[in-house]
Structure 1
Amino acid sequence: MSNSVEFSSLGLPESLLSALSAMGFTSPTPIQAQAIPFMLDGHDILGEAATGTGKTAAFGLPALAGIDPRQRAAQMLVLAPTRELAIQVATALEEFAVNMKGMRVTTLYGGQPYGPQLRDLERGTQVVVATPGRLMDHIRRGSIELDSIQCCVLDEADEMLNMGFLEDIEWILEHLPDQTQMALFSATMPNQIRRIAERFLKDPKHVKIASDRTQKANIVQKAWKVSGLNKLTALERLSETLDYDAMIVFVRTRNDTMELANHLNNMGFKAAALNGDMSQQQREHTVAQLHKGKINILIATDVVARGLDVPRITHVLNFDLPMDSESYVHRIGRTGRAGRSGEAILFARPRELRQLRFYERSTGGTIEMMEMPTAEELGKHRVAKLSVELAECVAQTDLAEMTGMLQEMAEQNELSMEQLAAALLFQRQRSKPLKPKADPAPRFERGERGERGERGERGERGERRERKPRPDIQWDTYRLEVGREHGTQVKDIVGAIANEIQLESNYIGQIRLHDAHSLVQLPAAMPADVLSKLKSVTVRSRPLAAERTNEVIEPRPRREGGRDDRRGGFRGEGRRRDGDNSNFRGRRDGENSNFRGRRDGDNSNFRGRRDGDNSNFRGRRDGDSNFRGRRDDDGQRGRRRDNDSYGNR
């Protein structure tokens, strides 16, 4: 459908067109442009389109066009999977029908008292938006009659299927008149949904909207690899630096919503939790607060992933990744709706990065990797924000009295105005420092352990741990004037370089410590200003004085026998050694009291082949003692023995 199509050309009545014009809508979305004419002609509709494509108007406008407001009976029924979606649909239908005098819209869902719902139904309502469970209760009570329903809509049918409403939906649809117009809308079309369509829809028109790359471009998708900072610190930093109007942060558990909301509130942000443990009244109040701008950050579980449509939401942050790609699609669909732009950010631990390609496949978009604002950038942001606040205060406030008080303080304490201003600034920034502490050094990962007890990243453990720098980088070697005699460890060098010049750990190559100096590999062609800064970086109170060098970092020599020979403990892999050793594995000729392998000599604990006297032996041996294996002599066990005792013969 061409973008030049307007609502006025679709055959809608003037009352609806004027409402759309007042709302600022002139051009329909693709799903609206295709579905509205079919429904106005009386066809059943099977609509397949992703969330955020305008499905509510696609079925709501043509269905409202066929309603007679003078008839006080239910003529339109919309089934929705969740309370939030039911409320959203009802609100949208009320806005569309604002010029239809006498039109009433009633919402029926669980968690709300029956009294108000019963009163609305008794007064007479033309439009009913309901969740399946509560609608079934009213049907059984006899408080609602479906005989006059002219149009029935199943919204988000796949979600109702996922929530176990299949049998309930079939039971409800069986109570509808045969002539009822049916519209089924779903983001996906599994076989069970198709079976419902085949059973209850009459020769439906299939309207399918393919993934629209242009529309998806309205939602910029980004991912941050969790490293260096924990997720809570990263959330704080984004909450402070992102340019957002309102933001939803998705977490996995109800308890997390409360903890994060409380934490952000204590940090000075306007945050609130939304989860299934809250009463319906509390949830409605929270969403209303978000609409009004009294809440800027909503911490939520997937209970609101479908149906929540707040124009203020410019950002969606996946603090915890969703269970599947479909949930991810619905989460990020809370922003960038109806042609608006938005941004979706996800926090992914290293082991979760593989999920990104599935999300890209589901959305038809690209997820860009992003970096978290550094401590230095956070400080600059705070300074800039405070500068604007102070300038606005000077412009909008009469500060004559405050100026006089400052002058009096300055005279009494023999201080300058600048000193007093600096002291006030210092007091102001105590809770949020204008120069935050430098970020911790990026750590090398061996699995993970998050802030909630999962397996976590480990830092350097000195030289014994082999580093894994990026193989695609050309390296230069630098000499640093710190070494072992100064108490320097590898982790000191990594931390200093990473913090001071903001260089990730995988951009730091091999490191070798010597007595008075150290060698480190850094990326070739580093900017001059970065190298200049590196010279003054200190480790153990000594400047690195970094200089390029032609010295070569030699591979570490392999230790003989695996481990050193301390405490008489030698472990070799197939190595032979002659000598006296009390703990030996391998082949050796000599006297040994704890030996596994082949050896000729006297041994009291021996496994392997040996000719000699041994009291504890497994293997082949010619001797006298405790024997397992083949032996020709006097022994307790063996495959064959020519002597007085019974063996295996």
Structure 2
Amino acid sequence: MSNTSFSSLALPAALVSNLTDLGYTSMTDIQAQALPAILAGQDVIAQAKTGSGKTAAFGLGLLAKLDVKYFRVQTLVLCPTRELADQVAAELRKLARSIHNIKILTLCGGVPLGPQIGSLEHGAHIIVGTPGRVIDHLDAGRLNLDDLTTLVLDEADRMLDMGFQADLDNVIAKAPADRQTLLFSATYPNAIAKLSERLLKSPVRITVTEQHNTTSIEQKFFQVSGNDERFDALRTLLLHYQGQSSIVFCNTKRETQDVADDLKQYGFSVLALHGDMEQKDRDQTLVQFANGSACVLVATDVAARGLDISSVDAIFNYQLAHDADTHTHRIGRTGRAGQSGMALSLFTASDAGKLVSLEDGLGMKIEPAELPEVTGQQLPAKPLMATLQLDGGKKHKIRAGDIVGALTASKQLSNDDLGKIQLHDIWSFVAVKRSALRLALQLIQQGKIKGKSIRARALS
């Protein structure tokens, strides 16, 4: 929480008075950093977690410049899920209590179209919605964005994770080029960087992370005597430092596959990634690891280059990297976006030269740590998600919203049961909670998407 008061900003007096009534006195860090730029009309990229006060940050900015007498859609807020859209709309209505005759409308999938069509006919100032349903209304001519002055992408990383890239592009193509764009994201992967480059004009970049978690990576080094002890040490470390996402780096393709095969024999949820794999298998591996359907990825440096995975709990160096730069690149995949991370490396006496290079490059003295003890009762972590592959994709005009609709229409599953959705040309992948896998497969196989039966199977 900052010590800056809302009254210090160029906000309308009625908004400040309402904030006081609501008990909002001092701004949160994201509000203090983002609001001045937003009120000045600048484009903003803000990286902040849920609960940081970001809705009030963009909400106060758009309400401050809203012309309530001009009954046209002036602001569009896009959210990844109906639940978030409802929360955002409720917060905006609370912030806008002092503005008479303001109309804030939610347009989300999973609810009947009829009432939304009727509401749109009566007009609105602010639309809060999910990309798929907003596109439905735009394509049907029921929604017009010609008067839009502000576009907000809330939890943009989650929207891309759920496969809404194409829908976002379609919405943006129908919005005026002369507008203010505000992008809020908990993480900043490559996909978000590319999106912001295309959409925002000279944006102000703001990052708010918890002070005690500033991308700290705890490094430990363990000495082993040879390859047999090396594998036993890796297995011990994986059991002790259990996480939902760990990457094990190996130096050769053969070693990568062997380590993955051996870990699987011991019950680990593990996948291999190396250059000898078919592209289809590589794609499936990346999809499953990125969406939480596997806990351990064993990879070579070349295969892991360019991985767009936002959060990895721990990195394990089965063999030391050949140089300090490669080591730094490896361990930089953990401890991102303000999270803490672990980097655990194995070495032998013959690695003395590499250790000297690492010490110089990292600016630290490497002391071997003692391997932790594990009991016989400790079992490998199981992934929270599973992956369905659907035999339909972009060429079949299937969108992420269509898949979400097919899985949630019966109300046996909700958005909370679904994870990352990735659309390819002729197939799609959707992550679902493991407990819901059988039901999700049944719903796809017995139902229809875009009026057609779609075959689906669970990836092992």
Q: TM-score under structure 2 normalisation?
A: 0.48
Greater relative CO, 1 or 2 (CA 8 Å, sep 6+): 2
